[in-house]
Structure 1
């Protein structure tokens, strides 16, 4: 087989391919074996029609499309490998010649991975930051823990305030008519959570146990139910019960209840270390993002739209997977948010383009710096994944191999190593006084 590659634009070129006549003959044989199973010829059972009679009755040309479908994918794959290009989109194929006894000629217009011209990527400046935890941050974490371990107590004599759980009946009306989904009994609503229509919770604040009230609101223009969007509504509300969070005292008993420590002082000391460790990890991520974005900003590359579209598709698929893990699906999310899938894709485009750019730049840096993944590093990653999923490393390897993800994992490790390289070769600089004081 002969294959040549000619670039016609920055990321676009043409593969010119010629496949030997003997391979065309073999493809025609396979095509015949496929279609003869369903061929109806008087005097012969299906699948038993001799080749000469089949071709005489239907013409050899009737096999061409099936033979092309068999031969084209493998020939295209071989041509890509032979010319050492990296397609990022489906090719536009033009069949120039296909006939019995002749070679198979076709041209494929292919969008390929773009060339990257690196700028400065070593010695980029990043702000110096320390993983210090202030007294205010420690107090805020303790407050959050208090909230988590709070008890709900029924309030009898006082009106509802933000933060309370109001147990209510409600029924909604638009133009005097009740609407579907606008009624519930003994519904627990946390006031101030903004989980209801804007303006609803604010009007429940101040109600007392046993009160009735007409709550007047207007549905948002972007509300998912088109028949209600933008319309004024009245909800008839009855408040059955008010529950209020009662925070535990911050004392030694609290420390014993929520940790293995005997005193609050010991617990606070350990909690501060946890917060420092968490902040250090966050700052590590900030620094990694900073060096990658600096390297990407200094590089020159023209990204094909196909790569951005493909990354958007990956992001949509990942988002759908996360929704399913939370008990939702894409249709439910789009209904609740009042969006279409096109809206979601449009929102993701900017991040998708940034991801593609960053990965392209990191790949070229890795190549320039000879950053590779050793067998030991790859095995260590498999062991780490195995521990996380509580399976054996061999099982993880087999799963990845079955869905073709082994190379993707190796690429992911290489990108991580490249980011570590950039961090190690960056320069920490003190933030200007104004920025430091703002922080």
Structure 2
């Protein structure tokens, strides 16, 4: 059997071989003998099926399995010769050639991608300068004032007037489509914040200007993407009656507010609350500063300074991902042009290649940084982040997690978390924290 295994570079290798017809036939014989011991074939006792019968009945499947075994043997021998361990592989090896010849032999070419050796060098010397972020007194006071406003109770306005933006209108309403009341379209003594956008577009605008005990027909159109298909895109008339107008009471900023906002601290004072708010605002400012400014600058510096080979298969995968995203933004005519002219697709792939290489390079650098710094993110941490974000947006956490699992997003989320964690650690050390 002709065989050759060579490294293209430290991240890529090619294994070529010519598998002889004799090798395939021997594999067929071996698989057929094994199958004869376990197959149930009518007219024969189990384990006593003649090999010839197995070959006759399952010939094409036996040949397919025999060729697969030969292919695995070529890969195994190639990896052994190249001294590449399974844990060093990136993704599945790609079969770039599988040509069956007239004499029964098969010419095979397998491309293998490996994890590159990333020499980080003095990576800490490349860190950008880090400024300390501090919340100022004005920001702290504004945040506390907003908290006080949100927690202030509602109270009936002191004098009767018309509804205006920002009011809380206490209303009765019932909705009709084509003169028929629909399910879920009725409520009494409902408190609606005008300007909140919580009702169908146009509803709140038409409540503005209503007076106490006034009754009015509010006509709106349900959005085309409305969750109830029976109502989506349809015009509805709501019979609305205004009972009263409420507004937020004047916010009280004192120790009682602090105790309300910090239920676990019985001795909390307004100064305690200010300290907590200062910590929160400082952490938020630092997070934005790190994420939007320092982290991209540091990664760009590492990508430009460090040189190592990239697995071609991973770069191709990244290009394909970017290409698919680009195609989603194209018109039907543009997509048709690509389908009719393959050279245009290749031209776009060439345009995307440089950014794809940078992205893949950054991923391997982050992985090397995490190992150097002993930073890890376990699966439970990933789940917790997904659950928290789902709850923040009012989604079912379990459903969101399942959707991400099925779409294969979890590894990317985990890598993003590792990236944030390791670079935050390095920047904090640079700052002296």
TM-score range, shorter chain: 0.5 to 0.7
The alpha-carbon deviation at position 262 of structure 1 amounts to: 5.0
2:208 paired residue number? 205
Distance 1:127 1:185, change over 3 A: farther
1:320 paired residue number? none
Q: Say whether residues 1:67 and 2:78 are aligned partners.
A: no
Please tell me whether the aligned partners of residues 19 and 104 of structure 1 are also in contact (alpha carbons under 8 angstroms). yes
Q: Deviations for 1:58-94, whole angstroms, at most 9, x for unmatched residues? A: 3755411233455646754764676559656773554
The alpha-carbon deviation at position 211 of structure 1 amounts to: 3.1
Distance 1:60 1:252 in 2: 85
Q: Deviations for 1:343-389, whole angstroms, at most 9, x for unmatched residues? A: xxxxxxxxxx979834523525876x9x8447xx36x877x969x99
Please tell me whether the aligned partners of residues 130 and 427 of structure 2 are also in contact (alpha carbons under 8 angstroms). no
The alpha-carbon deviation at position 142 of structure 1 amounts to: 0.3
Q: Deviations for 1:197-227, whole angstroms, at most 9, x for unmatched residues? A: 3322222233345433222445557767889
The alpha-carbon deviation at position 143 of structure 1 amounts to: 2.2
Please tell me whether the aligned partners of residues 291 and 422 of structure 1 are also in contact (alpha carbons under 8 angstroms). no
Please tell me whether the aligned partners of residues 31 and 66 of structure 1 are also in contact (alpha carbons under 8 angstroms). no
2:195 partner SS: coil
Distance 1:125 1:76, change over 3 A: closer
| Pick aligned residue for 2:297 from 268, 290, 295 | 290
Distance 1:53 1:92, change over 3 A: closer
1:30-429 to 2 correspondence within 5 Å?
Answer: 30=31, 33=34, 40-41=41-42, 43-45=43-45, 48-55=48-55, 57-58=56-57, 60-69=59-68, 72=71, 76=75, 79=78, 83=82, 91-96=94-99, 105-108=107-110, 129-153=131-155, 157-166=160-169, 167-173=171-177, 176=178, 183-186=185-188, 189-218=192-221, 234-239=237-242, 242-246=245-249, 248-259=251-262, 260=265, 261=267, 263-285=269-291, 286-293=293-300, 295-296=302-303, 304-307=315-318, 309=320, 357-361=358-362, 363-364=364-365, 372-373=371-372, 377=374, 417=422
Distance 1:98 1:36 in 2: 32
Distance 2:68 2:181 in 1: 55
Please tell me whether the aligned partners of residues 23 and 70 of structure 2 are also in contact (alpha carbons under 8 angstroms). no
Give unmatched runs, 5+ long, in structure 1: 314-352, 390-404, 427-439
2:145 partner SS: helix
Distance 1:45 1:214, change over 3 A: farther
Please tell me whether the aligned partners of residues 96 and 110 of structure 2 are also in contact (alpha carbons under 8 angstroms). yes
Distance 2:50 2:285 in 1: 76
Distance 1:96 1:196 in 2: 64
Task: Give the number of aligned pairs.
Answer: 358
1:321 paired residue number? none
Give unmatched runs, 5+ long, in structure 2: 325-353, 386-409
Distance 2:75 2:149 in 1: 62
Distance 1:25 1:258, change over 3 A: same
Distance 1:192 1:65, change over 3 A: same
Distance 1:297 1:236, change over 3 A: farther
